């Protein structure tokens, strides 16, 4: 891929177009070990080595992260009242990132963050039926009949019943613990499904999306880049 030097620096989060042009003219940037003083210099991102103040810049058009979304923030890029998931990305200088889909404000767990709109569309498209697995704690007893209701589809007040959903009992009692697998993403879907079956969700955490599982080493609010095998699995969906 060929790209202007100033555009490359902007896309990688080194400042505005005017700021990086100034840095280039000050001699802060080298290309293949030679000083670069022309912002319009064409860079071959596969072959040329670009350094900013002596540090090599690895260009990537798209980047992919997993975030352990904590409860209490909204899945949005901006919000006038509440903290958003993007507020946890203060170390990422690059712009254009957004969350892939939404988790409710009080729901925690896996949330993918990227600037790749095409991949986000594939993951969220109802036609692709990407599996999402959740752990839930429920006020009420989940029974075999509840499992059957989830698999057959539940009327939650929308135009159509929900698609078949998997429901695995982890601990069934007055307060039940379960794993739920859904292939769509309706508004408050899991909470509404349990309400329709006579229960109430008290805690909800997303464990996986497609082949990508939440990293057990991440604490709420922490994030990391996707590993190569995780990204390949998403690309194959």
Identify the pLDDT of residue 105.
96
Query: Do residues 76 and 85 lie in contact, with contact meaning Cβ atoms separated by under 8 Å?
Result: yes
Give domain limits for the chain: 2-57, 64-126+212-235, 131-209
174 φ/ψ angles, rounded to the nearest 5 degrees: -60, -35
Q: How far is CA 67 from the centre of its chain?
A: 6
What percentage of the chain carries pLDDT values higher than 70? 100
> 2-57 domain in CATH 3.40.50.10330?
no
Over residues 72-130, the pLDDT tens digits come to: 999 999 988 899 999 998 777 778 899 999 999 999 999 999 999 999 999 999 889 99
Over residues 181-215, the pLDDT tens digits come to: 999 999 999 999 999 999 999 999 999 999 999 99
- Contact residues for 135 (Cβ-Cβ < 8 A; gap 6+): 109, 170, 177, 178, 179, 204, 205, 207
Strands 200-209 and 108-114: parallel
pLDDT at 177 exceeding the cut of 90: yes
104 is a catalytic site residue: yes
Sign of CA dihedral 51, 56, 59, 63: negative
pTM of this prediction? Answer: 0.85
Cross-strand pairs, 172: none
To which CATH superfamily is domain 131-209 assigned?
Answer: Alpha-L RNA-binding motif (3.30.70.1560)
Length of the chain: 237
Protein fold of 64-126+212-235: Alpha-Beta Plaits (3.30.70)
3-state secondary structure of 193: helix
104, 155, 159, 229: the catalytic one is 104
Give the separation between CA 102 and CA 124, rounded to whole angstroms: 10
pLDDT band at 161 (very low <50, low <70, confident <90, very high): very high
Give the separation between CA 233 and CA 118, rounded to whole angstroms: 15
- Matching fold, domains 2-57 and 131-209: no
């Amino acid at each position: 891929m060929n790209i202007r030097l100033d555009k490359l620096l902007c896309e990688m989060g080194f400042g505005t177009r005017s700021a990086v042009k100034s840095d280039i003219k000050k001699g802060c940037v080298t290309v293949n070990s030679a000083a670069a003083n022309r912002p319009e210099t064409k860079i071959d991102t596969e072959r040329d080595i670009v350094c900013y103040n002596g540090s090599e810049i690895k260009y990537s058009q798209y980047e992919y992260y997993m975030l352990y979304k904590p409860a209490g923030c909204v899945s949005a890029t901006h919000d006038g009242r509440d903290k958003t998931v993007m507020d946890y990305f203060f170390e990422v200088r690059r712009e254009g990132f957004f969350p892939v889909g939404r988790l409710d404000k009080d729901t925690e767990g896996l949330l993918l963050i990227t600037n790749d709109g095409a991949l986000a569309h594939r993951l969220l498209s109802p036609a692709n039926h990407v599996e999402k697995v959740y752990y839930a704690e429920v006020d009420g007893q989940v029974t075999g009949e509840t499992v059957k209701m989830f698999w057959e589809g539940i009327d939650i007040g929308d135009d159509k019943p929900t698609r078949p959903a998997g429901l695995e009992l982890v601990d069934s009692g007055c307060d039940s613990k379960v794993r739920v697998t859904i292939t769509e993403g309706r508004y408050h879907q899991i909470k509404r499904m349990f309400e329709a079956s006579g229960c109430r969700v008290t805690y909800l955490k997303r464990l996986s999306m497609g082949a990508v599982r939440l990293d057990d080493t991440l604490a709420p609010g922490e994030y990391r880049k996707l590993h190569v095998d995780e990204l390949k699995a998403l690309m194959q969906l």
